[in-house]
Amino acid sequence: MNKKDIYEYDAVIIGGGISGCEASYTSALSGARTLLISINTDSIGYMAFDNYISNEKGISAAGINTWNDLALNKAARINRIDINSNKNTKKDNIGDRMIIDRKRQMMALKSIIENHKNIDTRQGLAVDIGLKKNIYNILTNDGNSYKSKVIILAPGTFLDSNIFWGYYNIKAGRPGEISSKRLLRNLIKKGFKFKEAKLYCGPKIDGRTLELKKYIRNKDKHKISIVPEGKETNEMYVDGLKMAGSEKEQLEELKKINGMENVIITRPGYGIKHNILSPIQINKNLESKNFPGLFFCGRINGISGYEHTAAQGYIAGLNAAKKIK
């Protein structure tokens, strides 16, 4: 391939979430000329559904123990939040979890991706892939076509997905972002099997309306944590509640909690219905059994938790790079 051709790459990653970013960075570190295609390049590296990660060890499949050992996130140095002072810190917090400054972390990852010499980024909606003479062709909805030796699919919750709360229901991969229906349809035509999955995001509230100084962690009953979104915002995330009722219903439930009697919701919680791949179709290295050089990582494999989706991106990136060589 001509290295100067902006439409030809060693590896193409579809999806700019945590898993896709980790896959892109790991691929690029190996020397592979890598393209990251994202529906919205403003959202590259965005932690959409929670802003915490587990500190628990045990991601042995990738030979790594914690989020800090993953290639991209180690480089980003993890933008954490001290929940007591609401300032960035290098200390862990809330027991076995680490709270992330969502926007600072996103900008850190996005900057690393965009400034790596082996990575290009494009905004586009991937709608189809094809394989001919061991070279993949990726088609986007604006008519562009990209060639690559390997593909890593990391579309997260965007495959023919819709979000809902109360009576509200709209086709979207996340609030304000479109979903990818044609890509799913074309993957099914190629023989891939999918099943429906659901994911829930808790409501966000105005922290100024709280009447509590400590975070709610009732170990005897349902565990709820009120987590800051970031250093420069008053918004806080209600972690531990799966809520997809109307905003009025959600507000009524929140006001039953001590210290939240006067709370104001800034963004209601919601559910998201999307498609995931049936797992028997990929090998342990996350490669398709029927399409050599096509890898899947992250939420499309039914994985939840940022530490796990990032680990799968790392594994996919490593194995895709080996395939190129």
Each residue's pLDDT tens digit in the chain (325 positions)?
445 578 999 999 999 999 999 999 999 999 999 999 999 999 999 988 877 766 554 343 334 445 555 666 666 656 666 545 444 333 434 455 678 888 888 898 899 999 999 999 999 999 999 999 999 999 999 999 999 999 999 999 999 999 999 999 999 988 888 899 999 999 999 999 999 999 999 999 999 999 876 555 544 556 788 888 888 899 999 988 888 999 999 999 999 988 899 999 999 999 999 999 998 999 999 999 999 999 999 999 998 888 888 889 999 999 999 999 7
pLDDT at 87: 43
- Regarding whether 208 and 193 lie in a shared domain, the answer is no
What domain range is 242 assigned to?
204-268
**Exposed e or buried b for every residue in 3-25, given b needs 16+ CB within 10 A?**
eeeeebbbbbbbbbbbbbbbbbb
Helices (H) and strands (E) in the chain, counts: 6, 17
**What pLDDT shows up at residue 30?**
93
User: Domain of 208: which CATH number?
Assistant: 2.40.30.260
DSSP reduced 3-state for 318: helix
Beta carbons within 8 Å of 96's beta carbon, 6+ residues apart:
54, 55, 56
Residue 173 within a domain? no
Q: Can you tell me the distance from the alpha carbon of 207 to that of 227, in angstroms, rounded to the nearest whole number?
A: 9
Among candidate residues 246, 268, 290, the one where a domain is terminated: 268
**196 beta partners:** 275
Give the total number of structural domains in the chain: 2
Which residue type sits at 31?
Answer: G
pLDDT score at 21: 94
Residue whose structure tokens are 């180690």: 74
CA distance linking residue 147 with residue 156, whole number of Å: 22
Distance CA 61, CA 295 (A): 16
Using the Cα atoms of residue 80, residue 86, residue 91 and residue 94 in order, give the sign of their dihedral: negative
* Residue 148 shares a structural domain with residue 234: no
2 belongs to a structural domain: no
Q: How far apart are CA 216 and CA 227, in angstroms?
A: 10
Based on the fold, state whether residues 307 and 292 are members of the same structural domain.
Answer: yes
Statement to judge: residues 130 and 213 lie in one domain: no
On whether both 109 and 228 belong to a single domain, the answer is no
What letter would DSSP give residue 222?
-
Residue 190 is part of a domain; what is its CATH number?
A: 3.50.50.60
Instruction: Indicate if 140 and 23 belong to the same structural domain.
Output: yes
* Residues 22 and 108 reside in one and the same domain: yes
CB 19 within 8 A of CB 299: yes
Same domain? For 111 and 226 the reply is no
